[in-house]
Structure 1
Amino acid sequence: MAAGGRFGQELPLGQEAACGSPLDELLMPPARHAPADLVAQARGILEGIWKDVCEEARGTTLLDCLEGALLQSVRAAVNSPTKSYRYVLPTQLAAKLADASLDCRCLQAARGGKGAFDARTVAHEVVVAFDQFNNSVLGGSPEPYVNNPLRVPEVSARFAGQQKNKKDWAALCEVLGAVQERGSADFTRTVLRQALMEVYRRLAQVHVVYPAPKRVSLDAAVGILRGFLAAASGGDRLLAVSSALSAVLGRRFGLYAEVRRGNITAADASTGLSADLECVSQAGETVLVVEVKDRDVTITHVRSKMADIREKQVSEIFFVAQQGIAASDRQAVLEHVAREFVGGHNVYITDVLTLAATALSLLGEPGRREFVREVGCQLDVYRSDIVHRRAWSDLLGSL
């Protein structure tokens, strides 16, 4: 499966009656298993579109590909308080793209007629697995098509009377009805893409569970940082690590009362900050600032940032870079730092792993445990991409 993750707050889930009694078995027609090739093709289609959505989301803001009432209906279905409804669009639309002859409104092969098929098998073998891999973003149901809301032959107005949530049932009817009526693979793909975009947006709200290691050695802490920062993130991971380290140092040694930061996508000017991080005393004075650079530091970057910092009369400035000073600019940067010292500014430039190794040794093991927890807090509070949050969780689990 492409990208995925574990999440922020749990979203409210609807309470539904589940199958399990002998009477249920009599009322529910036995599933007729969908052909293996249908399941395999549906899985490939879902994974492919999901991968595209995830890649687009990391590069820019997701742009809706539908509009108007149809867009609102897709959103209502994917975010429905009726848990089973959330599985319907990914299941029915992936199956329709895998086999255009299917009636995407059909839930049970026993319905009969043109295009009838067993959607339950596709749901269980494709979408439930997708949901589990992505930290139960749809609700974690092991058999969504066995729950009462979907124990009907098809998604249509005929069965609205058997639904408690008639509004969201109508939304499902509208979307699947439009897809079936159009009979266009391109349109079906567009609707499925929109549905998966809504799933991705749900994903951003889900809380990732971060393991709490009992012991954290210095080598282990630096090792997981090295692994975490090795992946490209547009500076998001580095900012979270730098912010966490600054926060723990401030608390443990009483250096300042608060660390202020913005989201990775926010320009410093828009947040009112003079750098990526401002460390502020109890009296509101900026004690030091930290500028984070996910590549190496160049003379151009130092000059432009120092112009902003001078206005706030901050004397202690850290440049924390992924790779230190650019080799071609090293002499110019060091000369500029010397001039800034004469002007009353102490400028420190270091790579993040060197800084972390020194700081984490001074903090000791209790401080290291606090630090690894704080990284997770930073990733959650500032809504870092689920891929980054999940990566940190996995690394903590390896300790």
Structure 2
Amino acid sequence: MSVTVNASQANKLLRSAITDVNQNSWTPNSLQSKQIEDVILGTHLTYRYILTTGLIAKATNESCNAITLQAGSSLQGAYDARSICHGVLVPIERELLGGRLGESNEPFLNKPARYPELSTLNAVRRGNDARLLETTIGVLSSLTSSEHAYQCLKDCVYYILQRKSRNLSDYLISTDSSLQQTSLIRFADGLLSQSFEGETCALLVGATYNVMGLAQSRSFDVKVHKVNQAGSSSKEVSDVDVYENGMLIHTIEVKDKEFTPEDVQHAINKAVMSGSKSLVFAVGPRGSLRGSSWAELTQLWSQQGVNLYFVNVLEHFVSNLSSIPSIDIRWVLDMINYHADQSKIKDDTFDHLVQCSKAVMA
């Protein structure tokens, strides 16, 4: 028989646990503390979310079975873990926990969370992943009461806070947001000094279109996709897609490595399939076109009714920046931080982003 976990109560309970840990110099003291530490500080993102969600659910409703993942599980006390994770944990992780669990929008879409319940029979890689699955099961199956679960939840929050924040503002000391545009240009130049497989270029291109929208007093919805995965979803066209009032108005392919006319054609085909007759190719400092020239390809595709534009990533950013006499540097950094969240940049990329931000905000 399934049970319901009240999302509003779960929200209040998680916020209370975070307050307790932050205000009372919390020291982990549950019997499961070491196992909780292993999972939360471990390498598997999904088990971090599963463990935390199970603790929230059990602490909210004692009758729920914390090792279940779906209300359709045959186990007594099954509940809908996905709704609690996506509706309660994910928003609060962004608001109060600095994205430290991994900044996943929908972690329960990952394979380990798609089973009716946790089990050592579930498909998992041998070694570390299998060990973390067993540890997660061990913690959640040992919970004896809602009070016990809440105690473990506070230990869990403690270890979450030991992880690195993914919010830029947590690393910046200066409150001066009226720095000159030269500071933003210096920031952009530093950001592009390393590629990280094109992630830095994609972040700056996303911010460029935010700036463009601000300059034109238009409401742009800019979506920066995970590098090398644009088009993997029906909602994705290129590396950066820009919408206004739900309509696709710009689609941008980002290249920070050598590319060919065939790569351009592939990107144009995706754009055309989405209903667009226009494509921007944003080329980073390490990008170069082999086998043709920008002018030749622009003319070639113009003859076929496609508007193809090539832009230099840094120059494109600077030219749009110049259209706004005064801009809040923190607003720009917030936009880049947002795109970093959405595109799930690598930890090394985020660390580089932090260093570049500190350099202009110190």
TM range (shorter): 0.5 to 0.7
Aligned position for 1:277: 240
Letter in 2 for 1:397: K
Q: Which of 216, 219, 222 lines up with 1:259 in the alignment?
A: 222
Q: Which of 300, 313, 318 lines up with 1:357 in the alignment?
A: 318
Larger-gyration structure (1/2): 1
Q: Which of 168, 172, 191 lines up with 1:228 in the alignment?
A: 191
Task: Spell out, residue by residue over 1:180-227, the C-alpha distance to the aligned partner (whole angstroms, 9 max, x if none).
Answer: xxxxxxxxxxxxxxxxxxxxxx65x75442535423323321222222
Within 2, Cα distance between the matches of 1:214 and 1:368?
Answer: 5
Within 2, Cα distance between the matches of 1:328 and 1:269?
Answer: 26
- The alpha-carbon deviation at position 69 of structure 1 amounts to 6.9
Letter in 2 for 1:228: L
Within 1, Cα distance between the matches of 2:151 and 2:229?
Answer: 33
Match of 1:247, SS state, is helix
Task: Spell out, residue by residue over 1:144-164, the C-alpha distance to the aligned partner (whole angstroms, 9 max, x if none).
Answer: xxxxxxxxxxxxxxxxxxxxx
- The alpha-carbon deviation at position 234 of structure 1 amounts to 1.8
TM superposition score normalised by structure 1: 0.50
Aligned position for 1:72: 134
Kindly report which structure 2 residues correspond to 1:299-310, keeping only aligned pairs within 5 A, or say none.
Answer: 299-310=261-272
Within 2, Cα distance between the matches of 1:325 and 1:392?
Answer: 20
- The alpha-carbon deviation at position 228 of structure 1 amounts to 1.6
Match of 2:345, SS state, is coil
Aligned position for 1:376: 337
Aligned position for 1:295: 257
Letter in 2 for 1:387: D
Match of 1:286, SS state, is strand
Do the aligned residues in 2 keep the contact of 1:245 with 1:356 (CA within 8 Å)? yes
Task: Spell out, residue by residue over 1:302-343, the C-alpha distance to the aligned partner (whole angstroms, 9 max, x if none).
Answer: 121112222334233211111376264343x43221022233
Aligned position for 1:329: 291
Letter in 1 for 2:281: F
Q: Which runs of 5+ in 2 are unaligned?
A: 1-13, 27-41, 44-101, 103-110, 112-123, 140-148
- After superposition, the Cα gap between the structure-2 partners of 1:238 and 1:347, relative to the gap in structure 1 and judged at 3 Å, is same
- The alpha-carbon deviation at position 82 of structure 1 amounts to 4.6
Within 1, Cα distance between the matches of 2:166 and 2:353?
Answer: 15
Match of 2:282, SS state, is strand
Report the count of equivalent residues: 244
Do the aligned residues in 2 keep the contact of 1:216 with 1:369 (CA within 8 Å)? no
Within 1, Cα distance between the matches of 2:154 and 2:238?
Answer: 46
Q: Which of 271, 280, 285 lines up with 1:318 in the alignment?
A: 280
Aligned position for 1:389: 350
TM superposition score normalised by structure 2: 0.54
- After superposition, the Cα gap between the structure-2 partners of 1:239 and 1:325, relative to the gap in structure 1 and judged at 3 Å, is closer
- The alpha-carbon deviation at position 349 of structure 1 amounts to 0.9
- After superposition, the Cα gap between the structure-2 partners of 1:221 and 1:13, relative to the gap in structure 1 and judged at 3 Å, is same
- The alpha-carbon deviation at position 241 of structure 1 amounts to 1.6
Within 1, Cα distance between the matches of 2:215 and 2:130?
Answer: 53
Aligned position for 1:183: none
Match of 1:314, SS state, is coil
Do the aligned residues in 2 keep the contact of 1:10 with 1:206 (CA within 8 Å)? no
Paired-residue identity, %: 13
Within 2, Cα distance between the matches of 1:225 and 1:76?
Answer: 47
Within 2, Cα distance between the matches of 1:82 and 1:279?
Answer: 43
Kindly report which structure 2 residues correspond to 1:1-399, keeping only aligned pairs within 5 A, or say none.
Answer: 13=18, 15=20, 65-66=127-128, 71-73=133-135, 82=152, 138-139=160-161, 203=164, 206-208=166-168, 209=170, 211=172, 213-254=176-217, 257-264=220-227, 266-282=229-245, 284-323=246-285, 326=288, 328-331=290-293, 333-366=294-327, 368-399=329-360
- The alpha-carbon deviation at position 76 of structure 1 amounts to 6.9
Larger helix percent: 1
Aligned position for 2:80: none
Q: Which runs of 5+ in 1 are unaligned?
A: 1-8, 20-49, 52-56, 88-135, 141-201
Do the aligned residues in 1 keep the contact of 2:220 with 2:242 (CA within 8 Å)? yes
Task: Spell out, residue by residue over 1:78-123, the C-alpha distance to the aligned partner (whole angstroms, 9 max, x if none).
Answer: x996589679xxxxxxxxxxxxxxxxxxxxxxxxxxxxxxxxxxxx
